Structure 1
């Protein structure tokens, strides 16, 4: 069967635009903002949805794309810090920081989510760790693999948001709970990565506070994107302590653009039912609840909690009818 990996190259357009914008400087540094927050939501509506999957296809090219996403994260951070060294932290520079954060959030999500499930201490696993280090979120792999994948869609899972909780309230709760969960699962590893990140921030402080601030701010934007994805993937869906995990406990989206640019991340139920499945072999599940929009549209919806809650509940009730 012919591997259809070409559409997934689209996701690399985001870090490419970000790097070009940082290199050119000026208003070009805001190109990623326009791309991800305006162009992609509109294109997503135009391209519509697709249920087509190829769970038996060979995935060498797909794996290469995932690794490129991971490597783009530290490269974008390095170029951002280079731009700061030239321009300083003027008002225009904050466009570059936001763009870098959005790009690193998008690439970091897909690479950490995909490569973080590879064999521990393998080259792919370390590549995922490098991308997470660049956004100061190294504990994610531990928490995600040892807590989230064990308790997803349960109250004990810090990443599974209940009905009625806004994205803002969720962020305040989930981040510290995830750090604590990672520490409980792997205390020595978690302590070591927190110390390593602390050393990195101290080094940036010594070099100059503009570098420190740029690094922290881009990381904050990237982490917001990652946690936004966690927020919508299981929102309102719950299972009991003894209830077997099923596709109905995770939201699915079949929107083409989200699937292509985020390496099939929206086929989340399939990922949870067998986490070792590489992204190019994920499948659709007809019994899984469907998000009202793709991930790019859901980004804007989540910013409006009353509307988000109303639409998600209505969508869930409609699918259950």
Structure 2
């Protein structure tokens, strides 16, 4: 792999660095993270363009085993926990509305925009350590059920009516958000119940991960609030408010990405309840080089869904996959304005539908 590309994934740490810098500069400087992600990155994507190159099979085997790429994600997991603790200590010191809004949004871009992306990568792996780190990150954004629902729900039922995280044609992001957030949580309980039933374990038991996943974030923020309150020698009510607001903003970013990745894509139903196998045609793809570095190649989503176990550094581009007109930073901004989104994406979706129809004919 090109050394530039190997180092490129370290650029993800620029985003939290900007958030920290913005806080200490104060005031409107807190919006530097927001500006970088939603202004600078789309401009860089336009400037540097796409990278549609793939590794050879032999190169992919070598790169997939390199510890360097795993180490980046391990470091991020520990960093995110420390970053959240830092945020809890500084939040009581922010005394202007402008600074507070900028800080909260910038913070969520770190914990949600990048953090959940790392958790997503780690949660697909077989290693107990990687799965532990995935859960640790998800705890920091109060979205631990994603570990169950994404792996055992979304990846099985993607592009079908049964998947709450697949956005429908003509569905606005705001309608999708409610269905995906609450439907995903409900689905995670159901999936975990089915797992326990197969193993002959009672639903209400300590082996039910959803009980732990629901209680652990509350316990965590309780302990964190107590520690910060002891430090300041007064009850710091801002800590739980900060934790839950940044969590909501963080998983809203995740749901924006989900919305963009799967908008309108459907798999053919072969028989009632049975669908064709997931392939690279069943997710929107983007190969914009700069934003892919920051998102650990999550934008090569078509290959990820076709081959979920593959590590981020060896994901492939497929010409036949439906292509987004820009990287995720710009696309999620557009998704926030439904009329603009529909005008941009519905014609592209129609072309995908025609291509799939011709292929199936």
Distance in 2 separating the partners of 1:157 and 1:214: 31
Distance in 1 separating the partners of 2:102 and 2:24: 13
1:180 maps onto 2:208 in alignment: no
Aligned residue in 2 for 1:131: 137
Q: Rate the CA distance shift 1:176–1:202 in 2: closer, same or farther, 3 A.
A: same
Distance in 2 separating the partners of 1:137 and 1:89: 29
Q: Does the residue aligned with 1:186 lie in a helix, a strand or coil? A: helix
Aligned residue in 2 for 1:148: 154
Distance in 1 separating the partners of 2:170 and 2:338: 8
Distance in 2 separating the partners of 1:48 and 1:229: 20
C-alpha deviation, 1:317, in angstroms: 3.0
TM norm structure 1: 0.93
Pairs within 5 Å for 1:95-244: 95-119=102-126, 122-187=128-193, 188-203=208-223, 207-239=235-267, 240=269, 241-244=274-277
Q: Deviations over 1:79-125 (max 9, x none)?
A: 221212333575422221111011111222321111011226x1221
1:92 maps onto 2:99 in alignment: yes
Structure 1 runs not aligned, ≥5 long: none
Q: 1:315 pairs with 341, 345, 348, which one?
A: 348
Distance in 2 separating the partners of 1:87 and 1:19: 13
Distance in 1 separating the partners of 2:85 and 2:32: 18
Distance in 1 separating the partners of 2:334 and 2:253: 13
Pairs within 5 Å for 1:240-255: 240=269, 241-255=274-288
C-alpha deviation, 1:316, in angstroms: 2.7
C-alpha deviation, 1:24, in angstroms: 4.0
Contact 1:232 1:251 in 2 (8 A): yes
Distance in 1 separating the partners of 2:88 and 2:68: 31
Distance in 2 separating the partners of 1:201 and 1:69: 20
Aligned residue in 2 for 1:27: 28
Q: Figure out how many residues of one structure are paired with residues of the other and give that number.
A: 320
TM norm structure 2: 0.83
* Aligned-residue RMSD, C-alpha: 2.0
Contact 1:30 1:95 in 2 (8 A): yes
Q: Deviations over 1:169-227 (max 9, x none)?
A: 11111111111111111241012110122333445666432111111111111111111
1:16 maps onto 2:23 in alignment: no
Q: 1:300 pairs with 328, 333, 338, which one?
A: 333
Q: Rate the CA distance shift 1:225–1:138 in 2: closer, same or farther, 3 A.
A: same
Q: Which stretch shifts more, 157-166 or 26-35?
A: 26-35
State which structure, 1 or 2, has the greater radius of gyration over its C-alpha atoms. 2
